[in-house]
């Protein structure tokens, strides 16, 4: 996985648990961009060496991918805004890192263009966040 060097830089752990029978009906490069954004966020927005898990499984006519982290989490006020254009979180630990606030906005746009979706599945301040990407399953 190409995010591995970044995980090593942050002294974090990156694990993947992807079912091997899944294929998505989507552009590989674009799916890669979305996952880069999600994994980068998961590694960066943490105040300790991050633990990030990427899972993938088939769910009916979709492939469900989750990116789970144990980072700083997202406050309920911020949860409503983070998919906006140029929207950054309000937490000091977010604002001290460089960022433009476009990653999630663009990633959701790409997911939707491919007939899928991108959502924050859950987040608890101080505990971590889970993002859920869904894409149409490939025709084998």
Ligand X SMILES: Nc1ncnc2c1ncn2[C@@H]1O[C@H](COP(=O)(O)OP(=O)(O)OP(=O)(O)O)[C@@H](O)[C@H]1O
Q: Where along the sequence are the contacts to ligand X (CB under 6 A)? A: 37, 41-42, 45, 69, 71-72, 74, 78, 82, 87-89, 94, 99-105, 129
Q: C-alpha distances in angstroms, 40 versus 24, 91, 97?
A: 22, 17, 12
If binding is defined by CB under 5 A, does position 41 make contact with Mg ion? Answer: yes
Contact criterion met (CB below 8 Å) for 62 and 26: no
Q: Between 72 and 111, how does the x/- string for binding to Mg ion read (CB under 5 A)?
A: -------------------------------x--------
Could you say which of ligand X, Mg ion, none residue 102 binds, taking C-beta under 5 to 8 angstroms by partner kind? ligand X
Distance of closest approach, residue 16 Cβ to ligand X, in angstroms: 16
Distance of closest approach, residue 20 Cβ to ligand X, in angstroms: 26
C-alpha gyration radius of the chain: 15
The torsion angles phi and psi of 44, rounded to 5 degrees, stand at: -85, -40
Contact criterion met (CB below 8 Å) for 68 and 32: no
Q: Please calculate the CA angle 92-102-108 and round it to the nearest 5 degrees.
A: 120
Q: Which is nearer to Mg ion, 16 or 102 (CB)?
A: 102
């Amino acid at each position: 996985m190409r995010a591995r060097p970044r995980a090593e830089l942050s002294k974090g752990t990156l694990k993947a648990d992807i079912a091997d029978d899944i294929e998505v009906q989507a552009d590989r490069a674009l799916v890669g961009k979305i996952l880069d954004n999600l994994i980068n966020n998961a590694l960066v927005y943490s105040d300790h060496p991050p633990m990030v898990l990427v899972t993938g499984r088939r769910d009916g006519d979709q492939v469900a991918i989750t990116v789970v982290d144990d980072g700083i989490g997202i406050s309920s006020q911020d949860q409503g805004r983070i998919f906006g254009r140029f929207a950054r979180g309000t937490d000091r630990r977010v604002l001290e890192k460089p960022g433009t606030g476009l990653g999630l906005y663009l990633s959701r746009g790409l997911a939707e263009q491919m007939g899928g979706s991108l959502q924050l599945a859950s987040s608890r301040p101080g505990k971590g966040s889970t993002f859920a990407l869904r894409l149409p399953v490939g025709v084998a």
